[in-house]
Structure 1
Amino acid sequence: MESNEDFWVQYYDGSAWRTIATYVQGAGFANNVFYNKVVSIPAGTYNYPANAKLRFMCDASNNTDDVYIDEIAFRGYSNGKAVQDDHDIVSLKRELVPGKFFFSQNYPNPFKPSTTISFSLPEASSVVIKVFDITGRRVATLADGPYEAGVHNVRWEAKGVSSGIYFCRIQTGAHVATRRMMLLE
């Protein structure tokens, strides 16, 4: 994200969206750094109706930067006892399906011993993702089959290969792209 761009966490209390956390690039976070953040909603501050919702919003410019949000846990307290809801909390809104193909740089990069590769599809497509060493020898096939429209992540556990430069190639029905990755020992 560019300097001074931000993203925020909002809570819907059944009647309005309320911002509960804001992060500004350069002040609240830096690019290419992983963070663990806890956002608390103090008891008595908001109501918790059955239709309560959380969302993550961003006002980034029209660039190809990515913000990855992972391992979200919701915990609450009822009469002093901790409660946790492990239900499926993610839903795909049709307007959030990407309008174009994109193949992100793996993260982290350099990496040790595993990395995540992200790509977006504007429509369902067959996808093949392969990893090659510097000599062009295929060392892994990470995906080979149909994928729905949307944003997808695949993970490479680089076991049994030496440290060095590797190339990750994605091939869809209409696109081919390659990214360079560096595995550290």
Structure 2
Amino acid sequence: MPPVPPAGLFDARIAGDRWISADDVIAVQVQHGEEPVTVSVNGDEIYELVIYSGKDEVRRQELSAGESVEIPASSDNFTIGLYDASAIPDVFSLDQNYPNPFNPSTTIRFGVPEVSDVKLEVFNMLGQKVATLVNESKDAGFYNVAFDASSLSSGMYIYRLQSGSFVETRKLMLIK
């Protein structure tokens, strides 16, 4: 592979400087200056795209043929691989919402390792509950929940996933 071009010029390459990969998940390094990059896929399969900024996961999304995802300019790498709908998480997980900041809707992804009663709620910074997104038994698996905040004012909010003794919170920012 040729050397990486100077900063500000577009470059995308499979990590490890390979032309092709037989791996289940392919890591792609991207250099794209100020403009976002759009990724789309062909074929009948469903893919899972994970976008990173450095080592921090920014977004995780399923991607089918004909769909596209915008990689923000702040992201410098992503992975793409076949999506395994039967994948079951080992532990409870609560991902960062995407997009964040958002207006007026965002998606929150969480994982449940076993059949459990799950509660996903949103609170303002005063600790007042402003929305209950999930309050039901869930089978093991990963879930994406849409949050429409069009009735709320701009500001920082906290969302909390709770199941049994597991509790995790994250912040989200609504900008109108």
Q: Who wins on radius of gyration, i.e. which is larger?
A: 1
Whichever residue aligns with residue 38 of structure 1, its letter is: S
Residue equivalent to 1:48: none
- Asked if 1:134 is matched to 2:125, the reply is yes
Match runs of 1:1-185 below 5 Å: 24-27=28-31, 36-40=38-42, 54=45, 56=47, 65=57, 68-70=60-62, 72-73=64-65, 92-93=85-86, 96-185=87-176
In 1, Cα distance between equivalents of 2:150 and 2:127: 18
Backbone CA RMSD of aligned residues: 3.7
Report % sequence identity.
35
Q: Point out where structure 2 has 5 or more consecutive residues left out of the alignment.
A: 1-13, 50-54, 67-82
Aligned length: 138
More strand by share: 2
Q: Point out where structure 1 has 5 or more consecutive residues left out of the alignment.
A: 7-16, 42-52, 75-89
Q: CA shift at 1:66, angstroms? A: 6.5
In 2, Cα distance between equivalents of 1:23 and 1:121: 26
In 2, Cα distance between equivalents of 1:68 and 1:54: 17
CA deviations over 1:102-149 (Å, ceiling 9, x no partner): 111111111111111111111111111111111111111100001111
CA deviations over 1:152-174 (Å, ceiling 9, x no partner): 11111002110001110111123
Task: Give the structure-2-normalised TM-score.
Answer: 0.63
Task: Give the structure-1-normalised TM-score.
Answer: 0.60
Equivalent residue of 1:65, what SS?
strand
Judged with a 3 Å threshold, the aligned counterparts in structure 2 of structure 1 residues 67 and 182 are, in CA distance, closer, same or farther, namely closer
Judged with a 3 Å threshold, the aligned counterparts in structure 2 of structure 1 residues 111 and 174 are, in CA distance, closer, same or farther, namely same
Whichever residue aligns with residue 64 of structure 2, its letter is: I
**Are 2:117 and 2:164, in contact at CA under 8 Å, matched by a contact in 1?**
yes
Equivalent residue of 1:69, what SS?
strand
